[in-house]
Amino acid sequence: MRGIALLAAMLLAGCTTAAPDGADGDVPPPAPFANDPQQPLLALFEHVIGDYFALAGDDAPTTCAILRDGGEAGSGLTADQEEALLLRFPRLAPAGRCQWDGQQYADSITGDRATVIDIYQFACDDPRNCSGSVNIRGPGACRPAVQYSMLYAGDAWQFARSERLPGE
């Protein structure tokens, strides 16, 4: 009986212990990629994904981000890049969760329809001047691909979009 009371007291004490340095336990959000001159690809993903979730609202389907380098296989993002995007956007799913079933993207866990935001033809002419094409495929995403040009000016990436794709 005495051991149970001691254990209960220890558990309760653990619940009332203050966080070190007066912290409330909340982790601050990561700094925006748009302010990092070394992360143009992540800045473009951040720009597009943020706009997508703002328009899609709370009922957005499973959504994945994929970098295409010409092929359909794999996400093209490094594990660190994908992790950074997943930390920035808690509603974003790992790329492997969005699978093409021959007709549409589907969530590999639930089987529900999914949306893929992919960037392709991403390139930088120099460290402050980049471009890439963005395609959003999934439920309610019947939009044409968009070409973005990016310029790092001041302390942030600036984005300009064009509905015309290269070669048109």
54 vs 81: CA distance, rounded Å: 22
pLDDT of residue 126: 95
How far apart, in whole angstroms, are the C-alpha atoms of residue 149 and residue 129? 8
Average pLDDT for the chain: 82
CA 50/CA 89 separation, integer angstroms: 8
Res 151 pLDDT > 80: yes
In a 3-state reduction of DSSP, which class is residue 14? helix
Find all residues with CB under 8 Å of 139, minimum gap 6, and list them: 61, 113, 115
Q: What are the sequence ranges of the domains in the chain?
A: 33-162
Query: In this structure, how many other beta carbons lie within 10 angstroms of the beta carbon of residue 51?
Result: 14
* pLDDT, average across residues 150-162: 96
Of 9 and 77, more confident: 77
Neighbours of 59 (CB within 10 A): 7
Per-residue pLDDT tens for 44-57?
999 999 999 999 98
- The answer on pLDDT for 73 being more than 80 is no
pTM above 0.75, yes or no: yes
Backbone angles phi, psi at 80, to 5 degrees: -65, -40
Q: Where are the alpha helices (DSSP H) in 69-157?
A: 79-88
